[in-house]
Structure 1
Amino acid sequence: MDMDGHHLCSGMEEFFSSRRRNRLDKQYIKISGKFVIEHSPGLSGPGKSASVQIYSSTELDPNTSKGKLSQKACLTRGKGSKKDGTEVTTYKIKLYVEPEFGNPGAFVIENNHNHRFFLQSATLETPDKLAIHFDCRSWVYPIKKTKTSRVFFSNTCYLPSQTPPALVELRKEELQSLRGDGTGERQEWDRIYDYQVYDDLGNPDKGPDYVRPVLGGSVSHPYPRRGRTGHPATKTGSINLNTYVPPDERFSPKKLSEFIANVIQATAHFLLYEAKSLSRDSSSFESFDEIRDLYSENRSQVKKGQVREKMKKLLPNELLKQVSHASIEDHIKFPLPHVIRENEWAWKEDEEFGHQMLAGTNPLRIRGLKIFPPRGSYIKKSDIAHNLDGLSFEQAMGQWRIFILGHHDYLLPFLTEMNSEGVCPCASRTLLFLRNDATLKPLAIELTYPVSSDDNELRSRVLLPAKEGTDRALWQLAKAHVAANDSAYHQLVSHWLHTHAVVEPFIIATRRQLSVMHPVHRLLDPHFKDTMHINALARSILINAGGIFEKTLFTGKFSMELSSELYKEWRFDEQALPSDLVKRRMALEDPESRAGAEILFIDYPYGLDALDVWKAIKTWVEDFCDFFYKDDDSVKSDTEIQAWWSEIRNVGHGDKRNETWWCQMSTKMDLTETLTTLIWIASALHAAVNFGQYAYAGFPPNRPTQCRKFVPEEGTMEFAEFLKDPDKYFLNMLPERFQATLGIALAEVLSRHTCDEVYLGQRPTSEWIDSNEIKQKFEKFKASLQEIENKVLERNRDSKLKNRWGLIKMPYKLLHPDVTKVGYRAGITAKGIPNSVSI
């Protein structure tokens, strides 16, 4: 035993001596405990250097206004095991307390060891065999760093007004400690949650080209808040894995190791191809065969160490230490994307173009057309009226069968400046017709683009579908511009803004305002796993000045500014799935339906599966809230919920504080709708827009992220170049090899499920709450998700539903819950719906 541990246990020895002296005067009872701790491989567990004291939940100490506090007990009799490289030790304790001590409700643990450890769980057992569970899952740092012990509360939930008097003060103190005072630079061990604007995206130290506007806190650049780090806004260097996030929000060591391995593998794929391409004269792909070679087994002819030297410029030393020369420079390839797996040319067909708007990476932008022509559009009725499968234009509009994919108005203010950045940006409108078999037939594409980079003059052009010849080749170029628009919108808005960024303020407010004893905290906790950490990594790798988004997307250095502009349109109430579908005219409002909406046509794979998942989440949330809230007054009188909701509106999404669409959080319906929407965003919505990326965007011609040429106009030199070799012109329009392969590498990393995910309908432990009734309701939720799995598989077997597979023959399974699978399921695409925005 070290001296610290000896010091800790000396109190216990004195206590036992005292107990022996007084055993005739007083009878003591024994409370035993079991503590499960993870620690880093090669490092010892805390053992007797960690001590525990328990607080009574029923007996108040008048001197402290808290529950009675036991003497200290040290962790002893550790029994170790190893699983998947993780060292786990189970310790036992014995505590003797007075008979009137009552039942434990909390414990405080003090770490006098030299190292941090991860406390998985604890269980205390009273003499009458009552087991009290603590779902801890938190890091405990040495007290010499934190200057304070850690408190953990049992898995019993209480609304604030129902908190046992012995735990009231502890509850308040714990929340207060998590808020901090908004000053100082955060250290690794600080458990403090506070808000900050996005002032760390630029890097002025590298020059004026790396200056970026601060997002958040202004009318011109509104944005959700992020977690405050206290680090200087100006930064240098590349990837930073040490950006502060509160300890409980960090990846597990196992996940971080797997994430790093995935990044290294994808980077190696990218760099091997780049090294192989150095001998080529052109920066463009020279043929479709060359693109397909990205996925072939050909061994690269790369000089020893060449790729590793390139990696040093992209990756920090801490990453490079974890990879050997062999693992980088061995025979390696990108996996084959599904979009070309069954039919390598299906992506070029108009039917597949429409299919991906309904079941692809971004099925959230298409909407029914309400007014023709769209405002400011040059598309004429005569352009499309002949192509409506026998319907008149008026009939098609009246039957809600004309749709639009709009990437036009929001891009117009940025086009000229983007054009000066070396890409050829267009703003696009695409009109489509819903055929009798529910496939979408493109009708017209309108492209608006800058005439030059010297002024703000814009020109618009309408292109129509064609089956052959020059017009078909021009049409293919127009579709590439639409795909580039949709790719940028998907990454910046559907994916980053509408899931990652908007959820972070909810996490911060939950930690600051809802005690871990609050039932809503317990409900939401799994839906926040790893989000703050992945967002911090994104600020260092993806969305920062010179980051991957700026390198790959046509929006370039305006990417995040554009995201801010579209946040101006964001409304939390419209993130509820039924509201979104109705607003986009993809569903009809149906107050009688459990979902609140009825899908317009059943062969909308995202919409149909999504409504089923939404209904399941909503039913689960209502069941949960009904147990804890008896009426509307119990919501209004919940001080923590009211503080939580106020902070979300006024601080976390403070740039939206004056909007009238926020609910007042005065009824149970307000609460259940809010919680359902939040869980939906964090789980199913994110799964739908994230895990299909590699399947579609892993093949650049299908979803280019930028276009380097405009669609050529007759009479120009570009048109002559196009006529000479349309395929070569198309390839030269695609991103350069560097940007294209970097985009593929990113899609590969983001599409992978990691090994420690916890999925919708699952919890990390069966003892996550001490209520058998709630556990039964959760099993009901799990059963409903299993029913949805069967529905999804049945729909995918229905040959009449053409959009379930598309021409590429890929079944739509991004919203297949897969709740029956437990454990390791790493891989790309359709592995289930994770609980949280965790990648």
Structure 2
Amino acid sequence: MLENLRSLSCSAKNYLKVSNTGDDTKRVTYLVSIKTGDMKFAGTDANVYFRITGVGGGETSRIKLDNTFRDDFERGATDKFKVKLEDIGTPTLIQLEVDHTGLFADWFASMVTVQKSGESKIYEFPVFSWIEGLHVACHGEACLPQDEHNPVIIRFRKTQLAKRRHIYKWRNKENANASGMPGFIAASSHADLPRDIQFTDGLYKDFEESNGVAFMHILQDKVHGLAGDSKEKWESLEEMSRVLGNSRIPKAKNFKVEWPKDEEFGRQMMNGCSPNLLRQCKDLPTNLKVTEDMIKECLDPGRTLQKEIAAGKLFIADCSIAQGIKQKKECVPICLLYQNQKGDLKPIAVQLQQDGVQSLIVTPADGEYDWILAKMYFRCAESNIQQIVVRMLHTHFVLEPFAIAMMRCLSSRHPIFKLLYPHLQYVCAATTIARSSLLSKKGIFDKLLTYETGGCNQLLKKAYTTFNIKDIDVVAKFKTNGTELLSNYHYRDDATALFQCIAKYVSSMIGLYYTSDMSVCNDMELQQFIHETHTEGFAWQDGNSHGCPKSFTRPHELVDLFTLIIFTSTCQHSAVNSGQFEIFMHPLTAPFSLSKSPPTSKGSASLQTVISSLPEKRKCLAQIDLVHAFSKKYEDQAYLGSFPGTNLRLFVEPMVQQVMNDFQKSLKEISGKINERNKKLTSGYDSLLPQNVPTGVTV
């Protein structure tokens, strides 16, 4: 049936075909090749029209592209056409137009190439856009605006940016969500976003169907009848194991039920989803009332607390950022960890509140279940900070101003647009969904996390008040936090290697186009980009720029900032996002909330106390559902290990291709080292394996 409908649509195209007119002696033959996108629903059955503009501004006739008895413009297909049109000299612009006829009218065009008969040169026109009506694309060579001399291209750049500024708008500053946050895009829902920065159907639809918006959890339907009434409490560990072990529930690839083990706790703190929370304990904080007697049994023989502090063997993970945020069951813990002679990092004390005088302090020397319960309350607090601060703020919201300014200020001809677009394309989609579904009043986070209604946004804004762009420089943070020599810290090793690889790549790209300080200063599109990011994105409310520069003066400033942006949107986002299912799928490991207030005494906890402290079954299943949606791989996702491939090839110059080839070679070497290391580990770390790292922020 579908094929018959498509055939009818194809016949209609033939019937409506626009014929060539004019004197054939003044015409030449062009070979036109058009690549349709690979994502879901990229193909079209609409009529597609085509026109070329030459270097001098002359235009060819408008012609309909159609191969007789062929279904053109199907998903992933490359269609070739021989057309006889006026000789307009060097092809400079192309126009694509769809008339929205047919049953499948939407169309995503990736790349167009044009070759004149008798010439060997092929002109490439990167499009990578949804075509809605008329779309104009320019020849693909990148160029700084001050180096453009052709009036046709200068006019194209100005027209394109004027159109984009009309489409991509900053939020109204009076918006209730604007205060205390970085600037964001004017869109109340994902559907309100410009089409080119919306998630593709293969990303958004799959996410929407697996994420359980407004507690309509598909996963809960799957387990209906397995766990009984989902509003009830868990009765036993056996019941939980039976439900979570059911074949209808997704399994984490490397998940092992080792939640009670201190070694596993330490591994997850280093190589889990909050890998930057650790800092070296150079002196016990005054509010952490841990004594030698409390933890002496946890230290290596002959060692003392002060000796191990001096040796750099003690570390702190502090949840104090949540102090003052209203919680359903208030707990703002501090955890003291110790790396022993074997290289194992283990927790040795958990203080359940910031006030050490009145707070309970629990150590492994206390009862087994007192210790398990204390670790569980700490992981609950840490997992909430991970969702709101580590993930949403540091890898989503602080990138949004750059993404908006990029679309408003940098032409598609600009090398910085081509450099950043693959990594920032979906940032606004992710943040808009977060605001409308996750962080909205009584939204998913209000229902799942430990904070009272509105607490998530309160924490977000509190964390942003002290945020600085330098905070996303994770390599610098390893030194600041004193974790450079921490053993088995695979996240640090992989992140450092990838950061250096990206820095080298960005430096090479910048060096191709910016040969002096003057070339940076004279680039008005670039200066407008950073000025708008600074003014509208960060300093808009109180003048606090949060470390964002207002202008650029030297090429190395571009290298530094764009390395941070690309690393954060790819590697850091993967590190704090992709491993969520493995870490959070077991409620005993890191629950998003707990049903009881933290203990105030020791000696009476049992396994049943631990089980009864967990949230009801419905919330546990919802937590699994959500983190599965966050960390799963989606059909249309592209990965750093294959970047840029053919899916988003914006640069066409051979000199750039060499830089990208070198980048790919370096990534391949990093992959090899990670794979070799993981073969020797009981629990491998592959969140930063380049072939697992998305090319940009997704969900």
Give the TM-score normalised by structure 1: 0.75
Instruction: Give the Cα–Cα distance (whole angstroms) in 2 for the partners of residues 199 and 672 of structure 1.
Output: 35
1:196 corresponds in structure 2 to: 171
Aligned residue number for residue 351 of structure 2: 446
Matched residue type, 2:59:
L
Matches within 5 A, 1:8-157: 13=20, 16-17=21-22, 19=23, 23=25, 27-37=26-36, 45-47=45-47, 50-56=48-54, 58-59=55-56, 67-77=57-67, 80=70, 86=75, 88=77, 90=79, 92=81, 94-98=83-87, 101-114=88-101, 115-127=105-117, 128-142=119-133, 149-157=134-142
In structure 1, C-alpha distance between the alignment counterparts of 2:679 and 2:663, rounded to whole Å? 25
- Paired AA for residue 434 in structure 1: Q
Equivalence map 1:525-604=2 (5 Å): 525-557=421-453, 558-587=455-484, 600-604=485-489
Determine what percentage of the aligned residue pairs are the same residue: 23
Q: Which structure 2 residues correspond to residues 598-747 of structure 1 after superposition, within 5 A?
A: 600-654=485-539, 655=541, 657-659=543-545, 661-663=547-549, 664-714=551-601, 723=604, 726-747=606-627
Give distance in 2, aligned partners of 1:336 and 1:632. 53
Change (3 A) 1:7 1:814: same
Among candidates 414, 421, 433, match of residue 518 of structure 1:
414
Distance 1:78 1:458 in 2: 83
Contact residue 499 and residue 686 of structure 1 kept, 8 A? yes
1:227 and 2:188 correspond: no
State the distance in 2 between where 1:631 and 1:623 align.
14
AA in 2 matched with 1:564: K
In the other structure, the counterpart of 2:244 is 295
SS in 1 for 2:686: coil
Deviations 1:701-735 (A, max 9, x none): 01111122234344xxxx7xx83x71111111111
Could you tell me whether the CA contact under 8 Å between 1:40 and 1:87 is conserved in 2?
A: no
Map Cα deviations across residues 153-200 of structure 1 (whole Å, 9 max, x no partner): 2221001111242300110110011111xxxxxxxxxxx111116988
Aligned residue for 2:359? 460
Q: Which residue of 2 aligns with 1:249?
A: 197
- Distance in 2 separating the partners of 1:727 and 1:635: 64
Cα deviation for residue 472 of structure 1 reads 2.4
1:336 pairs with 241, 246, 251, which one?
Answer: 251
What CA deviation, in whole Å up to 9, does each residue of 1:66-111 have, x standing for no partner?
x33332222122675699x94857252525334xx33112212232
Aligned-partner SS, 1:226: coil
Corresponding letter in the other structure for 1:244: D
State how far apart, in whole Å, the 2-side matches of 1:78 and 1:575 are. Answer: 54
Instruction: In structure 2, give the amino acid aligned to 1:678.
Output: I
The answer (yes or no) to whether the contact 2:210–2:218 under 8 Å persists in 1 is no
Q: Which residue of 359, 367, 391 maps to 2:279?
A: 367
2:361 partner letter: V
For residues 333-368 of structure 1, the C-alpha deviation after alignment (integer angstroms, 9 at most, x for no partner) is 212345653xx3x21111211111101122121111
> Which whole-Å deviations, capped at 9, do the CAs of 1:422-463 have from their partners, x for residues lacking one?
x3220011111222232213232111289xxxxxx9942222
Cα 1:296/1:81, change in 2 over 3 Å = farther
Q: Does 1:216 align with 2:174?
A: no
**Mapped partners of 1:426, 1:629: distance in 2:** 51
Whole-Å Cα distance in 2 between the matches of residues 261 and 174 of structure 1?
35
Residues 2 and 474 (structure 1), Cα distance of their counterparts in 2 relative to 1, 3 Å cut: closer
Task: State the alpha-carbon separation in 2 of the partners of residues 82 and 757 from structure 1.
Answer: 25
- Counterpart AA for 2:384: A
Structure 1 pair 432–112 and aligned structure 2 pair: CA distance change class (3 A): same
Q: How many residues align?
A: 677
Determine the structure 1 residue equivalent to 2:319.
407
Asked if the contact 1:80/1:90 (under 8 Å) is kept, the reply is: no
The answer to whether the Cα contact below 8 Å between 2:108 and 2:131 also exists between their aligned partners in 1 is yes
Structure 2 distance, partners of 1:706, 1:3, is: 60
What CA deviation, in whole Å up to 9, does each residue of 1:567-615 have, x standing for no partner?
112111231222222222223xxxxxxxxxxxx2352111011101111
Is 1:283 the counterpart of 2:274? The answer is no
CA distance in 1, matches of 2:69, 2:46: 12
Other structure's SS at 1:554 match:
coil
Give the distance between the partners of 2:610 and 2:161, measured in 1 at CA. 58
State whether structure 2 residue 682 is matched by structure 1 residue 786: no
Alpha carbons 2:143, 2:414 under 8 Å: kept: yes
Q: Which residue of 1 aligns with 2:5?
A: none
Superposed CA offset, 1:182-231 (max 9, x none): xxxxxxxxxx111116988xxxxxxxxxxxxx3333xxxx11222212x5
Provide the residue aligned with 1:432 in structure 2. Answer: 337
**Structure 1: distance between partners of 2:346 and 2:460:** 30
Structure 2 length normalisation: TM-score? 0.89
Aligned residue identity for 1:568 = T
**1:177 and 2:156 are equivalent in the alignment:** no
Structure 1 SS opposite 2:58? strand
- 1:33 aligned counterpart, secondary structure: strand
Q: Is the 8 A contact 1:197 1:225 kept in 2?
A: no
Residue 231 of structure 2 is aligned to residue 267 of structure 1:
no
Residues 212 and 622 in structure 2, CA contact (< 8 A), matched pair in contact too: no
**Contact conserved, 1:497 with 1:567, CA < 8 A, in 2?**
yes
Among 644, 655, 666, which residue is 1:763 paired with? 644
Per-residue Cα deviation, 1:1-36 (whole angstroms, up to 9, x for no partner)? 9999899976x64xx33x25xx4xxx4443332223
Distance in 2 of aligned mates of 1:42 and 1:631: 42
More RCO (CA 8 Å, sep 6+): 2
SS at match of 2:450: coil
Equivalent residue number for residue 328 of structure 1: none
- Maintained 8 Å contact 2:331/2:598: no
Q: Say if 1:528 and 1:125 are closer, same or farther in 2 by CA, change over 3 A.
A: same
CA distance in 2, matches of 1:88, 1:581: 46
Aligned-partner Cα distance in 2 for 1:811–1:40:
33
Gaps of 5+ in 2: 1-8
Seen in structure 2, the aligned counterparts of structure 1 residues 92 and 744 have a Cα distance that, compared at 3 Å, is same
What is the distance in 2 between the residues matched to 1:552 and 1:565?
20
Relative to structure 1, is the Cα distance of residues 790 and 35 closer, same or farther in structure 2, using a 3 angstrom cutoff? closer
